[in-house]
Amino acid sequence: MKIILTFLFLLFSTSTLSSEQPINLTGTIEISVNNGTIDANFQLENIPKLKNYLIFLNSGFNIQYFRDHKDTTNYAYDKTYNTDYSDESFGYYLPDKTGEGKFLPSAMQFKYTGKFPVINSMDKASDRGDWKGNIAFNGKTIRTDGFQTAWYPILYDIEKDKRYDELAYNIEVICLDCKSIYVNGSKPISGIQSVFKSNKPTSLTLFAGDYDIEEQNGSYYLNSGLSKVQMNKLGDLTASFEQYYQKKLSLPYGENVVYIHTTPISKKDSWLFVSYPSIVTINHDKGGLSNLFDESESSWFKPFIAHELAHYYFGTYRTFNSELGDMFQESFSEYLSLKLTKQLIDDKTYLNNINKKLAQVEGKTFSTIKEVKSNSDYGNRNLYVYTYAPIIWLAVEKEIGEEKMWQWLNKMLTVKTEQTNYEFMIEALASVIEKDKLNLIINTYLSNNNAINNANAVLQ
């Protein structure tokens, strides 16, 4: 790959901030936690001009209409289902007059309804089957995220592999059998209905139902099961992690996080996910988040929280597309978690995590990072993005040094580009290291089938 240094200097001095105005979501959604029903009447405004697009809505919804924003005409629409784009949703589009292209107005209405299973007892629940992209009714609450569940219309630019799940919004949420309601980017409320507003584009997690709201030092804790002392402890821990990241990456951290605890609608699923500023813990622990403070749990809990907080940068501050986008978001968040673990938690936990990863990849073969052209090239996706790639990044750091590594990550987060692909990654790296060192990295770790053994050797 030919690198023109003058061009790179100009390219990488450009800010990543976009002048594009955010899409605005308005309207009303009515929910029944007891019945598992959703009735939505939304409007999207300030829709960008796209030729090849889809509009995602959860596959559990029945469409009443797509309608013009002046409320005079219903649009004809077609739908498709493609797991390369979404497992949870149908993709809708408006055919143009020729029937061969697509039409997209600058604003339009969406009216739809859905009924979902309410799993309020584990007696007949499945062992597995709950996940982040599930619209989950557990008898007490409804839990959604924005990116995957698509409980509101999400525009997807096929050509740029860009999902517009982060929206400005002004919506009314009505839930007559709820005690509390929360929408990502707004303050939670106690009540059965409220208008939620945000001018800052946000991916809209929705959490409503029968739960308590606590506030401590500007952060909210929903259904947490935490004492005041534990809230302070978790708040201090979170603040120290955020400060570490913003110092190392030379980028400010965002707003205070909101901690949420709820139960899954399956017997054995247990996990955390981030939909910034929310961190959601899903498990059957009766103590809620309080069990995370047991000494026996801290060895996984603190690094896990570090990983989730790192997703503010790799996932919210910047979203990544192309065939490597998923790997970038997860592997660099895991890399940041490992660095923080060594610095702020303890060496023992750090070494245990590294050795566990090395054991998991031992004797296995992987596509090189340069060879990945589609999600299928990951093979075992979780092993690739959470284990293989972070090991590679640690080895790269050994070769170029910590200071250059942090500079590279800053470039990955701030350089303006439409495609965050392999070429983008190489150009970002080339802007902070010498050409000879770049060639070493490419030939040893990014395009070498023996990359994992090379990494293992340098990490010993």
Q: What is the mean pLDDT of residues 336-344?
A: 97
- Which of 33, 266, 262 has its CA nearest to residue 137? 33
Which pairing describes strands 24-32 and 102-103: parallel, antiparallel, or unpaired?
Answer: unpaired
Q: Which amino acid is at 207?
A: F
| The pLDDT of residue 19 is above 80 | no
Indicate the pLDDT class of residue 335, thresholds 50, 70 and 90. Answer: very high
**Tokens linked to 381:** 């996706």
Which pairing describes strands 278-282 and 258-262: parallel, antiparallel, or unpaired?
Answer: parallel
| The pLDDT of residue 9 is above 90 | no
Indicate the pLDDT class of residue 288, thresholds 50, 70 and 90. Answer: confident
Between 316 and 6, the higher pLDDT residue: 316
Identify the pLDDT of residue 295: 61
Rg (CA), the chain: 23
Mean pLDDT, the chain, whole residue set: 92
What SS3 state is found at 2? Answer: coil
Between 301 and 204, the higher pLDDT residue: 204
Burial (CB count <10 Å: 0-12, 13-18, 19+), residue 23: buried
25, containing H or E segment: strand 24-32
Identify the pLDDT of residue 356: 95
Identify the pLDDT of residue 16: 39
Question: Rounded distance, CA 103 to CA 95, Å?
Answer: 6
What's the pTM? Answer: 0.85
Percent of the chain with pLDDT over 70: 94
Identify the pLDDT of residue 1: 36
What confidence tens digit (pLDDT) does each residue in 411-424 have? 999 999 999 999 99
Q: What is the mean pLDDT of residues 245-259?
A: 94
Cβ pair 331, 386 in contact under 8 A: yes
What confidence tens digit (pLDDT) does each residue in 381-428 have? 999 999 999 999 999 999 999 999 999 999 999 999 999 999 999 999
Helices assigned H by DSSP within 108-252: 228-249
- The Cα-based distances of 330 to 75, 214, 325, 326, 418 in angstroms read 38, 30, 9, 6, 19
Identify the pLDDT of residue 4: 33
Distance between alpha carbon 293 and the CA centroid of its chain, in Å?
Answer: 25
Identify the pLDDT of residue 106: 97
Structural domains in the chain, CATH included, are 5-16+318-459 (1.10.390), 24-211 (2.60.40.1730), 219-241+249-294 (no CATH)
Q: Which residues of 64-80 are buried (b: 16+ CB within 10 A; e: fewer)?
A: eebbeeeeeeebeeeee
Indicate the pLDDT class of residue 343, thresholds 50, 70 and 90. Answer: very high
Identify the pLDDT of residue 292: 74
- The Cα-based distances of 124 to 129, 142, 409 in angstroms read 13, 19, 47
| The pLDDT of residue 190 is above 70 | yes
| DSSP states along 350-414 | HHHHHHHHHHHHTT-----GGG--SGGGGSSHHHIIIIIHHHHHHHHHHHH-HHHHHHHHHHHHH
